[in-house]
Amino acid sequence: MKNKILVAIIMGSDSDLPVMNEAKEVLDSFSVPNEITIVSAHRTTKRMVDYAAGAKKRGIKVIIAGAGGAAHLPGMVASLTPLPVIGVPIKTKSLDGLDSLLSIAQMPPGVPVATVAINGARNAGILACQILGTEYADIANRVEKYKQDLESSVLKKAGALEKIGAKKYLKKMPKNK
Ligand code: RP5
């Protein structure tokens, strides 16, 4: 397949990395070439403008942008590029990420950001693969296989629950679930 970077993952701070790396893990598992870096709307504004304005020319197809608090990065990047931008609201200490969610989702008409759930970087990675799947059949095939595996794993759980009952099932469930 192509080795050219197709997805750019950017975030406002390295404190966002533990969450945003989940998008990278998805892209890597789907063999989608990607890059990941820090671009802050407020602290490195010129870098943000250059990065967003130049992304399409570099062959990037989708941008995943994560930010927390007054999370302006995804929206500002969307205003600077014709590429689809997926926004990941990062959970914050003070407002649990509601501030990030609203800052990213409440875009004005004409400048959409495809906003996933708070800390939903994994879904951002999957959505990026789905968008790319409209152009690359090999990525679309991997997405379909992923969905089939999801279905199988839930059907397997349903079968086990029906067979052994809730009490025994709960005992076998990992504690952190
Ligand atoms: C935002 O401010 C970043 O996206 C991050 O979520 C938040 C806090 O940044 P740090 O103070 O941890 O660098 O711009």
- Backbone φ and ψ of 135, nearest 5°: -110, -35
Q: How far is the CA of 74 from the centre of ligand 1 (A)?
A: 13
Q: How far is the CA of 159 from the centre of ligand 1 (A)?
A: 44
pTM: 0.94
Query: Who contacts 104 (Cβ-Cβ below 8 Å, separation ≥6)?
Result: 67, 71, 74, 75, 87, 88, 89, 113, 115
pLDDT score of 83 more than 60:
yes
Query: Position 121: which residue type?
Result: A
Instruction: Give the tens place of pLDDT for each residue, 20-49.
Output: 999 999 999 999 999 999 999 999 999 999
Q: How far is the CA of 70 from the centre of ligand 1 (A)?
A: 9
CA 159 distance to own-chain centroid: 31
CB-side neighbour CA atoms (13 Å) of 166: 0
- Ligand 1 pocket check: which of 13, 19, 48 to mutate, most ligand atoms within 8 Å of Cβ? 13
Nearest Cα to Cα of residue 129 among 31, 59, 11: 31
CA 138 distance to own-chain centroid: 20
Q: Atom 3 of ligand 1 has which residue's CA nearest to it?
A: 12
- Backbone φ and ψ of 137, nearest 5°: -65, -35
Instruction: Give the tens place of pLDDT for each residue, 116-164.
Output: 999 999 999 999 999 999 999 999 999 999 999 999 999 999 999 999 9
Q: What is the mean pLDDT of the chain?
A: 97
Q: Atom 9 of ligand 1 has which residue's CA nearest to it?
A: 13
Atom of ligand 1 nearest to the CA of 92: 6
What is the structure's pLDDT at 3?
78
